[in-house]
Chains A and B, each alone.
Chain A
Amino acid sequence: MEYKDYYKILGVKESASAEEIKKSYRKLARKYHPDVSKETDAETRFKELGEAYEVLKDPEKRAEYDQLRKMGAFSRDGNFQPPPGWESASHFSSGGFTDADPQHFSDFFEAIFGHSGTAHRRYSHGGRQYGFQMRGDDIHHKLPLFLEEAYSGGSKQITVNIPEVDERGMISHKRKTLNVKIPAGMTSGQHIRLRGQGAPGIGGAENGDLFLEIELAPHPVFSVQGSDILISLPITPWEAALGAQVVVPTLSGKVNLKIPKGAVQGQKLRLKGKGLKGTAQGDQIVILQIAVPPKHSKEAEDLYAKLAEHEKSYNPREKMGV
C-alpha cells in the first residue's frame, strides 16, 4: 500500500510541536476546504490533511506512527508494509473523539490504526444498535452537463458509489448505474432528487435519496445568464453600417438575424425564445462585436481613405478630451 508521510502532508518537520501542527493544519484546511478552495484536487488534499491531523494531533497515535516510520518496510517502488504482527495500541475507535469523517481514511491509515472501529463507530453512534431501523443515508452528487444536454434535456447515464453496511457494520461501496431523465432547461446550481436511490436502509428502513446538483460545463460559444443564452457575434464594419442579414448559431440550430442599419459595437439583439426553457422561457441575447479583416487590399485602403475624407467630423476620442 502507499505510504503516507503525514508530516509532509501537513508541511511540518518531524520535530514540530503540537501547536505548530495545529497551526499548519488550520491554515491548510482553509486553503483546501472543498467548499472554499478553487484547487482542482482540493477534496483529495483535504481528506489527506484530515487523516494526517487525526494521527499527528494525538500524542499516542503520533508516537506509534513515528515508530512505524522507523520500522516500516519499504519496497523499491515506495510501497509500505507494516512490520509483521503490528497491532495498534491506540485503537481508532477509542482514540479520542474526532469530527473527521473516518469513512475516507486511507488503507495506510487502516493498516496502522485498524478500521473495524471506524465503520462501527459511525453506525453505532448515538446509541443506535443493529436491530433498530435506520433510514439509509442520502447521497449527494454533482451532475455535470453540457449546455446542449441541459437545453434539450433527455436521458443521462450516471454512475454513483452507494455505501452499503453489512451485519457487522462494515461499509463497502457498490457502483450503481442509473439512467436519469433530465428535464429540459436545467441550469447550474439547480438540484434534482431521485427518491430511494441513496444508501439502503438498515433493518428494513427506507432507503436514502440521491440528490444531484446540476453543473453546466463552460461552452466555447455560448454563455448562460439565468435562462438566457449570451453569444458574442462578430460582424464587419460595413455590415454594421449598412445593415445585413447574418446567420447566428443557437442551441436549436442556425437562425437568420437582421443586423439593423447603423448598428454599433456592443449592441444587444434579442432572439426571442431561443434560451433555456427553465421556470421562464429564456431568450438568446446576441452582442455585436465589430471585427475587421487582419489585412486590407490596396483597393480597400483606397476606399478607407475616401471614407476618412467623408467622416472627418467624427472623433471617437472626444470623451478623452483629445
Chain B
Amino acid sequence: MAREIKIDVTYSFTLGELSDRAGVSPDFILELVDLGVLEPTRKDKVLIFESRSLARLQRARRLQRDLDVNLPGIAMCLDLLDEIKQLRWEIDNLRRLHKSEFEE
C-alpha cells in the first residue's frame, strides 16, 4: 500500500525559483512579464509568481523551442489558446445544457 503524501495547493515562486525550475533565464521570464503573459504580484519589491505561472512559462518555452515563435508571437499564441479553451468549454456546456434538443 502506497503511503499518503502531503500536498501543497497554494504555493508560489520567486523569479529565481521559476527560472531554475523551468530552465530559462530570468530575462526570458521578465520579457514575458512585460508582454503580460505572466502576471506576478510584488511583495516587498520581490516578484511573486502564482502556481500556474510555471506551467504557462513551460508552455511558452516549448512553443519558442519547437515552433520557432518569437516572444510577442508566443504571447499572442497563449492568449489565443486560452480563448480557444474557454470557447470549447462554453460550447461543451451549451451542448450539454441543450442536450435534448441536439439529440433529437
Contacts and interface: CB of A to CB of B under 8 A. Distances in A.
Nearest to B23: A137
Given A218-B92, A232-B97, A193 B67 contact: no
A289 interface: yes
Contacts of B93: 223, 225, 230
A179 B3 contact: yes
Interface in A168-213: 177-183, 186, 189-195, 197, 211, 213
B27 interface: no
B46 interface: no
Interface string A233-257: 0100000000000000000000000
Contact of A232 (B4, B21, B77, B96): B96
B5 A180 contact: yes
Contacts of A181: 4-7
Range, interface on chain A: 35 or more
B53 to A, nearest CB: 10
Interface stretch (A30-38, A77-85, A86-94): A30-38
Given A177-B2, A191-B51, A35 B59 contact: yes
A262 B54 CA distance: 51
A34 B65 CA distance: 13
Interface string A22-61: 0000100110011110000000001000100000000000
Given A35-B59, A140-B55, A232-B96, A193 B7 contact: yes
Contacts of A46: 66
Contacts of B7: 180-183, 192-194
B100 A234 contact: yes
A138 interface: yes
Contacts of B59: 35
Range, interface on chain B: 20 to 34
Given A179-B5, A194-B5, A195-B8, A36 B98 contact: no
A296 B59 CA distance: 56
Q: Which of B7, B11, B54 lies at the interface centre, i.e. has the most chain A CB atoms within 10 A of its CB?
A: B7
A245 to B, nearest CB: 22
Contacts of B99: 232
Contacts of A195: 6, 8
Contacts of A303: none
Interface string A128-159: 00000001001010000000000000010100
A73 interface: no
A35 B81 contact: yes
Contacts of B3: 179
A155 B3 CA distance: 11
B8 A223 contact: no
Nearest to B53: A191
Contact of A33 (B4, B5, B67): B67
Given A30-B67, A191-B51, A230-B97, A197 B2 contact: no
A18 interface: no
A194 B8 CA distance: 6
A291 interface: yes
A192 B100 contact: no
18 contacts: A26-B67, A33-B63, A35-B63, A36-B77, A157-B2, A179-B4, A179-B5, A180-B4, A180-B5, A181-B7, A189-B52, A190-B52, A193-B8, A193-B51, A195-B6, A195-B8, A223-B93, A223-B97
